[in-house]
Amino acid sequence: MTQVRPMRADARRNYERLLQVAAQAFAEHGENASLDDIAKRAGVGSGTLYRHFPNRQALLEAAYVDRIEAISARADELAGRLPPGEALTAWLNELCVWTIQARGLKALLGSAVADGGAAAVTVCGTSLKGAATRLVAAAQREGTLRTDLEPVELLRLAHGVTTAAELADGQGAGQAAHIRRYLTLLLEGLRAAA
């Protein structure tokens, strides 16, 4: 068994500074923010960035892992106080709004719900899929959601809702209204047959 050595203090500072600068850069420029610019703004070389984060996907995930875990925890909070179908609807709405608000998050979520590959097996993907699985199963048991729907399919559809809302006119409240409308249309089509 190999032991992971703790980071030296300077390496830890570099890591934390890279995450801080990356979150700012992704918020400003989206998921295609320049990695070289991120390294420069963090006061480190590109080699240091790539030692900590071997690719853009790894940096995106590290920058957004707290947000994804919060979104996933929110699923359980909603499930604890709302009926299953309502909890699922409320969570999907929040997920879509958060995905649009945090530039770069949509690309990360898209990777998390893609078919197979290493991108699908990430902390973010695992956390998000777990939350969706719990909510979908509860809504299916309640009889408000089709039993043939897979949780990952619902996440992919939610990803599509965020894309549709971005394409529609409006921002802020306008996008939130589009999300609510598209989710209503989507979920009505996914209801269990009476």
Domain at 21, CATH number = 1.10.10.60
Higher pLDDT pick, 182 / 169: 182
Angle at 134 between CA 116 and CA 173, to 5 degrees: 90
Could you tell me if 43 and 127 lie in one domain? Answer: no
Question: Which residues span the domain enclosing 24?
Answer: 9-52
Is residue 29 in some structural domain?
Answer: yes
Is residue 3 in some structural domain?
Answer: no
Could you tell me if 171 and 83 lie in one domain? Answer: yes
Could you tell me if 76 and 137 lie in one domain? Answer: yes
Question: Helix, strand or coil for residue 146?
Answer: coil
Query: What is the number of structural domains in the chain?
Result: 2
80-111 residue pLDDT tens:
999 999 999 999 999 999 888 887 777 777 77
HSE toward the beta carbon, residue 127, CA cutoff 13 A: 19
Question: Helix, strand or coil for residue 21?
Answer: helix
Assessment of whether the complete model's pTM goes beyond 0.85: no
| Residue (of 75, 41, 61, 141) closest to 107 by Cα position | 61
Stated as kind and residue range, the H or E segment containing 33 is none
Compute the distance between CA of residue 46 and CA of residue 73 in angstroms, rounded to an integer: 34
Could you tell me if 34 and 72 lie in one domain? Answer: no
Is residue 2 in some structural domain?
Answer: no
| Residue (of 93, 104, 102, 77) closest to 186 by Cα position | 93
